[in-house]
Amino acid sequence: MRILGVEGTAWAASAAVYDVNTDSVFIETDAYQPESGGIHPREAAEHMSDAIPAVIETALSNADGPIDAVAFSRGPGLGPCLRIVGTAARALSQSLDVSLIGVNHMVAHLEIGRQQSGFDSPICLNASGANAHVLGYRNGRYRVLGETMDTGVGNAIDKFTRHVGWSHPGGPKVEEAAKDGEYIELPYVVKGMDFSFSGIMSAAKQAVDSGEAIEDVCFSLQENIFAMLTEVAERALSLTGRDELVLGGGVGQNARLREMLEEMCDQRGAKFYAPEPRFLRDNAGMIAVLGKEMLDAGDTTPVADSAIDSNYRPDQVAVSWRTDREEVFRNVGEREIRGAEATVSIGSERVTKRRAVKSYRHPELDARLRKERTTLEARLTSDARRAGVPTPVVYDVDPTEASIEFEHVGESDLREELTASRVRDVGRHLGTMHREGIVHGDPTTRNVRCAGGDTPPNERANDSRESDRTFFIDFGLGYYSDDVEDYAMDLHVFNQSLVGTSDVADELWREFESAYVETGDEQVVTQLREIEGRGRYQ
């Protein structure tokens, strides 16, 4: 069996033949290279139109036998480029009289790593030009656990390199310049499971303009951006209880990023896999390999339903080729829990949280984050409690050692005891915090603790703190703000967390929203809709 794959989401016109009999993949790629600046959609489409016939012809000439199916990248990507690839794939499938298979480009990045690594159900960090997100499989779909809130990681780096007059692609040039650099302070923006690159890009441009050595700026860009990606990947491993991580996307070719991810996984006792470079950058080989899996599952695409989708998100794909179901990870009864940021030692009455040194981060950056987050976490936890939100009492804080001693609250994490009434409590508590100008920063189902039972509000003992069903913990990514968008990001993080841990996330989310507006501002929910509709994967 042989599958022809055709890729053309943006800059790479690519065709490949996956020969199942020999387990070999031949890939032919003709990359668009702009004369100046970044990718120009019209020029990219013109290149795609010229290059696709030639790369397909080369791929077919290297096929050792007939083609059994044609797979193509259906999205996400640049619409003009996708339409050219879709037209070519439809014509080929009809002329060869074989099945047509529309593939999600982002899922293909994940699947090539999963299949080549032999991992069971890994978390995937996708770091490419127009995209940056963390995915995990749960019950028939790849769920987006974290994502960029503005621009893709590769595009962000390219914006900086265009500012300094370097040609596209900018990533390899930054990597080379960084070899001679030293660390300078730049913004570091992680919001729960998400990240943002606009602030650090602006600061990097300003640093160069103000006379900082470009080598130092490039070094610090890499250190901060890749540490942000690594931190969120570790948070996803912690949230889901997985111990396998795969890397996808063209930025994954960067040696420093791979080094950080591998070091983080070593510290956690997790496994890490990065495909060879030809499968990291945009390529038709991954399209062909996933096409074969979809063909075996009977998941083909009728020509009449094969329209491209430039905003095709990975969580829209029904994963037909996998039949396993992921259950909620449980850690009930553990006396020491290792999270993404810290180790928590649990006693009968007190809990000690110690922020671990993250060796993958630059020492200056790591020391600053550990100290700042420890100090702010203690303050926010106490302030939220004074506002009426159930949180643990803070007994002791040591910013130098990055440790906090808390009261022990609850009996289990919310992810282990998800009910509609508890989720409504979370909505009301978040609304109260936002009304007081407090952003939690990481309100996942692991950072809410549950007391015993699920007592209705009208049956709770008025004088018993333990009668409350939910307690907010881990304000380590929190901050003070009066910005509606920051409050909406809290809601976004909780929603993603529900999707990653519950089979009935939509139902629970409706309960959450209705409860949130009881104490919070309905404008925040409106802003959340705007955030979710921005179409970051274009």
For residue 33, tell me if it sits in a domain.
yes
For residue 76, tell me if it sits in a domain.
yes
Same domain, 99 and 120: no
Q: Tell me the per-residue pLDDT of 230-278, one tens digit each, with 9 for 90 and over.
A: 999 999 998 888 999 999 999 999 999 999 999 999 999 999 999 999 9
CATH number at residue 171: 3.30.420.40
Structure confidence at residue 287 (pLDDT): 98
| 491 CA to centre of own chain | 16
Structure confidence at residue 534 (pLDDT): 63
For residue 49, tell me if it sits in a domain.
yes
Structure confidence at residue 452 (pLDDT): 67
- Residue 36 — pLDDT band, cuts 50, 70, 90? low
Residue 328 has pLDDT above 50, yes or no: no
What region does 237 belong to: left with phi over 0, alpha with psi -120 to 50, or beta? alpha
Same domain, 425 and 484: yes
> Both tokens of residue 532?
């979710």
- Residue 511 — pLDDT band, cuts 50, 70, 90? very high
For residue 297, tell me if it sits in a domain.
yes
Same domain, 189 and 288: no
Q: Is it true that the peptide bond before 390 is cis, omega within 30 degrees of 0?
A: no
Question: In this predicted model, which residue has the larger pLDDT, 191 or 306?
Answer: 306
Handedness of CA 466, 461, 377, 237 (dihedral sign): positive
Same domain, 436 and 410: yes
Same domain, 137 and 61: no
For residue 446, tell me if it sits in a domain.
yes
Burial letters 102-117, b for 16+ CB under 10 A, else e: bbbbbbbbbbbbbbbb
Q: Tell me the per-residue pLDDT of 100-112, one tens digit each, with 9 for 90 and over.
A: 999 999 999 999 9
For residue 55, tell me if it sits in a domain.
yes
Residue 325 has pLDDT above 80, yes or no: no
Q: Tell me the per-residue pLDDT of 382-429, one tens digit each, with 9 for 90 and over.
A: 999 999 999 999 999 999 999 999 999 998 899 888 999 999 999 999
Residue 141 has pLDDT above 60, yes or no: yes
> Both tokens of residue 416?
């282990």
Mean pLDDT to the nearest integer, 366-372: 96
Structure confidence at residue 246 (pLDDT): 97
Bridge partner list, 75 = 104
Same domain, 340 and 384: yes
CATH number at residue 409: 1.10.510.10
Domain span holding position 197: 113-277
For residue 328, tell me if it sits in a domain.
no
Q: What phi, psi does 375 have (nearest 5°)? A: -65, -45
CB 474 within 8 A of CB 447: yes
Structure confidence at residue 42 (pLDDT): 84
Minimum mean pLDDT among 62-66, 298-302, 325-329, 423-427: which range?
Answer: 325-329
Structure confidence at residue 33 (pLDDT): 76
CB 242 within 8 A of CB 344: no
Q: Tell me the per-residue pLDDT of 455-489, one tens digit each, with 9 for 90 and over.
A: 444 444 333 343 457 999 999 999 999 999 999 99
Q: Tell me the per-residue pLDDT of 147-189, one tens digit each, with 9 for 90 and over.
A: 888 888 998 999 999 999 998 789 999 999 999 999 999 999 9
Same domain, 380 and 433: yes
Same domain, 259 and 298: no
Burial of 338 (0-12, 13-18, 19+ CB in 10 A): middle
Mean pLDDT to the nearest integer, 427-452: 94
Q: Coil, helix or strand for 116?
A: helix
Same domain, 117 and 94: no
Catalytic residue (one of 383, 442, 468, 490): 442
Separation between Cα atoms, residue 302 and residue 304, nearest integer Å: 5
Total of domains in the chain: 3
Same domain, 126 and 248: yes
In the numeric block, the tokens 């038709």 are attached to 284
- How many beta carbons lie within 10 A of that of residue 512, not counting itself? 24
Residue 97 has pLDDT above 90, yes or no: yes
Residue 332 has pLDDT above 70, yes or no: no
Question: In this predicted model, which residue has the larger pLDDT, 531 or 450?
Answer: 450
Structure confidence at residue 19 (pLDDT): 97
- Residue 324 — pLDDT band, cuts 50, 70, 90? low
Separation between Cα atoms, residue 243 and residue 250, nearest integer Å: 23
For residue 393, tell me if it sits in a domain.
yes
Give the mean pLDDT of the chain.
90
Q: Is 442 a catalytic residue?
A: yes
> Both tokens of residue 467?
């009668």
Same domain, 144 and 126: yes
Same domain, 353 and 220: no
Residue 323 has pLDDT above 80, yes or no: no
Structure confidence at residue 105 (pLDDT): 95
